């Protein structure tokens, strides 16, 4: 039993590192490479931060049920992040404006820009933010990371405590 808890904690902490590294990469892209974020980019950034925080909290919990519930929430959010990345690529990147989209409404309702503008301020339209990194659209990278996070969460949930 102690081994599976230790394994779950390692997975959750590794997932948190992936989340925070993704946000770090986004910040480097924004501030060093001048790749300005649109509302969909910022929404995905916010999801990475929340999933990372949930993973840290879950890793610190000793109660298996609480750890599973929080990991389940991280799984749902990772799926939501993957869906946001797909939507950004298929729909939003082809739109001149992101105003009044779901991402814009969520960010406005949560007022995250006022909490940490250096992290959550929208700086570009969806069409302007459609850039590639190493030949792949930026949102594909985000999609892959969200899928890996969802798989990691599913693995943690599948473990017997």
CB 89 within 8 A of CB 144: no
Under DSSP, the state recorded for 21 is H
Distance CA 128, CA 131 (A): 8
Of 17, 12, 22, nearest in space to 71 by CA: 12
What pLDDT does residue 95 have? 65
Say what the alpha-carbon torsion angle 29, 126, 19, 117 is, to the nearest 10 degrees: 70
- In tens, the pLDDT along 123-136 reads 887 777 667 777 88
Distance CA 40, CA 33 (A): 19
pLDDT above 70: residue 21: yes
Helix or strand run (H / E) with residue 151: helix 138-158
Under DSSP, the state recorded for 61 is -
The whole-number average pLDDT for the span 65-82 is: 97
Distance CA 147, CA 82 (A): 6
What does pTM read for this prediction?
Answer: 0.91
Q: State how many domains the chain has.
A: 1
Under DSSP, the state recorded for 122 is -
Residue 20 is part of a domain; what is its CATH number? Answer: 1.20.1550
Task: Residue 51: give the domain boundaries.
Answer: 2-158
Say what the alpha-carbon torsion angle 107, 111, 115, 116 is, to the nearest 10 degrees: 30
- In tens, the pLDDT along 80-101 reads 999 999 988 887 666 666 666 8
């Amino acid at each position: 039993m102690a081994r599976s808890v230790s394994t779950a904690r390692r997975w959750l902490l590794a997932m948190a590192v992936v989340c925070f590294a993704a946000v770090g990469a986004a910040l480097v892209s924004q501030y060093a490479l001048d790749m300005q974020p649109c509302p969909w980019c910022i929404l995905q950034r916010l999801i990475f931060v929340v999933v990372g925080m949930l993973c840290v909290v879950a890793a610190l919990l000793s109660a298996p049920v609480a750890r599973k519930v929080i990991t389940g929430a991280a799984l749902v959010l990772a799926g939501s992040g993957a869906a946001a990345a797909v939507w950004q690529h298929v729909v939003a990147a082809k739109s001149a404006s992101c105003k009044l989209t779901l991402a814009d409404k969520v960010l406005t309702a949560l007022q995250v820009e006022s909490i940490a503008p250096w992290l959550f301020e929208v700086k570009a339209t969806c069409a302007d933010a459609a850039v590639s990194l190493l030949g792949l659209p930026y949102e594909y990278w985000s999609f892959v990371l969200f899928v890996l996070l969802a798989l990691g969460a599913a693995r943690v949930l599948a473990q017997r405590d």
